[in-house]
Amino acid sequence: MKTNVNPLILGFFVLSLSAGSLAACAQATTGVATTSKPVTDTNKIAVITPMRQMMSRLTKLEPTGDPDFDYALQARVQTQGQLDLLKQEAQSGKDTSLRKMAQTMIPAVQADIDMINNLARQLRPSRPNQAFMQAQNQNIKAMALKFQAGGNTESKLTSNFDSNFVTVMLDQRQDAIDLANTYLKYGSNDTLKKYAQDLTSKAQQQMNSIKQTIK
């Protein structure tokens, strides 16, 4: 039996189906673009990448519990992170004062790394201290959370490279102070203790200088 269909109704049905298909395609395309949007701001990437590399190396260290041995390795990684960050500012910074500050600091930081490397080769883990290991692990976990994607440090970054350098450097220097102060409670190596004591003073001075520079 032949059924007659109103041409107007049929036309409306076809148009509705086509519109629905186009909307679905547009929604799918939009969804993909939104969910896979990469972070492309080089002014953020350049300063946060050295910190994430530093944290990756720190978290991969196998703690022995020996304050001298463990801190020497931690300080080496942490100071390398500082050096990498300073090199970014020296290379890409636009603020003359900050760039000059970074260039001035680089040789001293490299000398610290060389000293720690020499000292680390002489140390052997011999006296594990559970309290030290727990306290230092807490410091490192807090640092990892800060520098992870979406973490507190990243959330403060802007499209201004020099401003981002200041933000990250202040956090990095405070973390160095925290690691050093924890070591000083438990450490016994005279050379390493002097390094940690000097570090806390220098890091605080550096933080003050950076804050003065950006006023």
d(CA 17, CA 1): 27
pLDDT, tens digit, 9 for 90 and up, residues 125-182: 999 999 999 999 999 999 999 999 889 999 999 999 999 999 999 999 999 999 999 9
Residue 103 reports pLDDT greater than 60: yes
d(CA 76, CA 13): 70
Q: What is 42-213's CATH number? A: 1.20.1260.10
Residues of the chain with pLDDT > 70: what percent?
81
DSSP 8-state symbol, 125: -
pTM across the whole model: 0.79
Beta strands in 47-165 (DSSP E): none
Burial of 79 from C-beta contacts in 10 A (0-12 / 13-18 / 19+): buried
pLDDT, tens digit, 9 for 90 and up, residues 52-82: 999 999 999 999 999 999 999 999 999 999 9
Residue 95 reports pLDDT greater than 60: yes
Angle at the Cα of 64 from the Cα atoms of 58 and 67, rounded to 5 degrees: 85
Closest CA to 74 of 63, 85, 90: 63
Start-to-end Cα distance in the chain? 88
- Which pLDDT does position 3 carry in this prediction? 43
Domain ranges of the chain: 1-37, 42-213
- The encoded tokens of residue 177 equal 């102070």
Q: Which residue has the higher pLDDT, 34 or 85?
A: 85
- Which pLDDT does position 40 carry in this prediction? 59
